[in-house]
Amino acid sequence: MSIVKSKIRTIPDYPKPGILFRDITSLLIDPEAFRLTIAMFVERYQNQGIQKVVAIDARGFIAGAALAFQLGVGFVPVRKKGKLPGKTISEAYALEYGVDHVEIHIDAIEEGEKVVIMDDLIATGGTLEASIKLVQNLKGVIHECATIIDLPDLGGAARIKEKYGINVYSICEFEGH
């Protein structure tokens, strides 16, 4: 875990003053660190009966697609509104100033399919919560949520656990926001 964490750079004041942006691109360009990251997820989920990996637009796609490939299961993108070509359902989530939406194809998950929901990072948990609601609306069974990074000071993982009873597994944590 410390190897993965050491490869994630922090960019201060991005995208606005006071924010410490945790940038996984520095992890992704290191082939050994990226391989280790995916291997940690594979080890956790390989014998759990996972049938689909649901990943959140856009950085969640990177680890999510690699995990789905390694597990030999389907990959389901959760995208920002208007980006999926087929029939979708939508779920709103709160932004700092306003509301946005994410969508999933209505035929992406069959009733009872066991899934992992993946993103690069959990902060307040808004997009992860919206994705949980989408999967639940399609009657998928959420085994766990997975992220590379948790920002526990923002409380998202704890809120997801408390509100939905779903664990959020993260490889590493960073203090602050």
Positions annotated as catalytic residues are: 59, 96
Q: CA gyration radius for the chain? A: 15
Structural contact between residues 105 and 140, judged by C-beta atoms closer than 8 angstroms? no
* Residue 87 token pair: 């029939």
Rounded Cα distance, 143 and 114, in Å: 6
Nearest to 9 by CA among 17, 22, 19, 18: 22
In 41-177, where do the E strands start and end?
52-56, 74-80, 88-95, 98-105, 114-122, 141-150, 168-173
Strand partners, 22: 10
Q: HSE-up of 107 (CA within 13 Å, CB side)?
A: 4
Q: What is the DSSP string of 79-116?
A: EETT--SS-EEEEEEEETTEEEEEEEETTSS-TT-EEE
